[in-house]
Amino acid sequence: MVATTDICDANSSLLSTGELKVLLPLFKPYGQRRAFNGPVVTVKVFEDNVLVRALLESKAHQGKVLVVDGGGSIRCALLGGNLGQIAQDNGWAGIVVNGCVRDVDEINACDIGVWALGTSPVKSHKKGVGEKHGSVHFAGAVINDGDWLWADNDGILISMHQLSTTS
């Protein structure tokens, strides 16, 4: 795993052009993996996690990072222990949630990295409303399906492609 600090140091010109973006430091880490990276799969929902579950259940996304734009809602959780286990079982590298999680002890037992705004004990609605594989905008950045994401204790980075640590 390459540290976000090393990526920033080696790609400082991309930071100034905006090709490498740093998400605002709004997120808290959960799960056993405190660092992860991979290509992004996006989903945009609001207080409804049906599409989140559908993507996590797919075995076609091994090694990828699910980016969930939950509109920043803190009224309910979009991810819980069951979905954390499903993500682990299907080989996801990590999940970033612009919203809340629940069942934190269960998520923390999973070999998955999860970054979220916080926690809520309330479960989400189950209507299946939202959009998969589109552009999302939160934490000061536009994130596209297929972008590359790195997350560790120093922050979360987004780029249009995988970057190296050599200039």
pLDDT tens string 21-74: 999 999 999 999 999 999 999 999 999 999 999 999 998 999 999 999 999 999
Predicted local confidence at residue 124, as pLDDT: 97
Domains of the chain, each with CATH number or no CATH: 4-159 (3.50.30.40)
Q: Which amino acid is at 17?
A: T
pLDDT in tens, 72-101: 999 999 999 999 999 999 999 999 999 999
Please return the burial class of 59, using the count of CB atoms within 10 Å of its CB with bins 0-12, 13-18 and 19+. exposed
Q: What percent of the chain has pLDDT over 90?
A: 93
The reported pTM is 0.96
Q: Which residues are annotated as a binding site?
A: 80-83, 102-103
Interhelix angle 81-89/50-57, nearest 10 degrees: 20
Annotated binding site for substrate: 80-83, 102
Binding-site annotation, residues for Mg(2+)? 103
Q: Which of 34, 35, 17, 14 is nearest to 165 (CA)?
A: 14
